Amino acid sequence: MAEAGVRVPLEQVKAVSDERVDFLREQAFSVLRLKTDKWNRFIGLEENQRALLDFLDQSWREYLILFMGPGGTLHAGDEQSSSSWKTKLLSVLKKRKGVVSKTSFRSQLWLGEVPALPLDYTPIIISQVFVSLIGCPLNQRVWPRVVGQDICRHLEHLRSQAVTLRGRAHGQILLPLPLCVERRDERQLSSDSCLIDRTLLYSIETMVIHWCQLMGSVLQRDSSKLLRQGDHPGPTAELSFWAKQKDNLLGIQKQVEMKWSITFMSIVNVSVYGFKGIVWSKS
């Protein structure tokens, strides 16, 4: 004779009663500001229970990503998943490949928050994490000097591109500063040693060229581009174009007049690399 009532799937029983799942729930509450009813709805779906248990009990699963969707619903994914919504992610990573223990799971997992707009934090991660680790002389002791310098230049170029992309994502022009300038204090930059520091001077000159390219791209913008493409914009589009152009130019002027910009431009002006005579003054 069949049993009365509804039979609860074994996977759901294991997931609900697992302390490791409770730990992940607490982290989701803290990081994602998740509500209890949203978690209950999430854990009630069989595919979500299987995703959690596969991550905890299977050695081949190394990542777990939890993120919020429309309406505050919780979703689970892996390292190949991407959220189509601008929302914070909770990333859970195994420190070692294998099964997560039911007794020492807290020490076997790395937890991380990925912001909703990662482009805003990418330049900071590059300059404060990657450069600090890779650019540290102690970590380059076994490297040839040329290799270390080349890697640092690539990192600086990567950060410069990240700053530029961040500005474009917000409809602005951001002028990146050389990493070697940001990491020195004013006394170091104002001393005569700057004249013989070829690494510093090379970074500044490269950044000046990049600045000129960014400024030129703004000055070359033309409101008649839409007309040449066959569109028929009205007066509102024209006014909007010039309002954005004004904001961009004022933003560039403000960045150029910052203390750091004036400091390293003065270094370029007195250098022996053919930049003498350049006058960087307020417009």
Is the Cβ–Cβ distance between 134 and 151 less than 8 Å? yes
Average pLDDT over residues 265-276: 58
Task: Give pLDDT, residue 181.
Answer: 59
Is the Cβ–Cβ distance between 53 and 11 less than 8 Å? yes
Q: Give the tens place of pLDDT for each residue, 47-94.
A: 888 889 889 988 888 889 898 888 888 988 875 555 555 678 888 999
Chain centroid offset of residue 160 CA = 12
Between CA 140 and CA 148 the distance in angstroms is 6
Average pLDDT over residues 252-275: 69
The identity of residue 105, as a single letter, is F
Task: Give pLDDT, residue 204.
Answer: 77
Task: Give pLDDT, residue 279.
Answer: 42
Q: Give the tens place of pLDDT for each residue, 201-229.
A: 777 778 888 888 888 888 888 888 777 77
pLDDT of 195 strictly over 60:
no
Chain centroid offset of residue 117 CA = 7
Please state the domain extents for the chain.
Answer: 10-116, 120-269
Q: Give the tens place of pLDDT for each residue, 158-187.
A: 888 888 888 887 778 888 877 665 555 444
Q: Give the tens place of pLDDT for each residue, 1-56.
A: 444 444 445 555 566 678 899 999 999 999 888 889 999 999 888 888 888 988 99
Joined tokens for residue 2: 């069949």
Task: Give pLDDT, residue 109.
Answer: 93
Handedness of CA 201, 207, 212, 215 (dihedral sign): negative
Average pLDDT over residues 110-133: 80
Lowest-confidence pick of 20-24, 144-148, 183-187, 242-246: 183-187
pLDDT band for 268, please (50, 70, 90 cuts): low
Phi, psi of 9 (to 5 degrees): -55, 145
Task: Give pLDDT, residue 139.
Answer: 82
pLDDT of 257 strictly over 60:
yes
Q: What is the pTM of this model?
A: 0.56
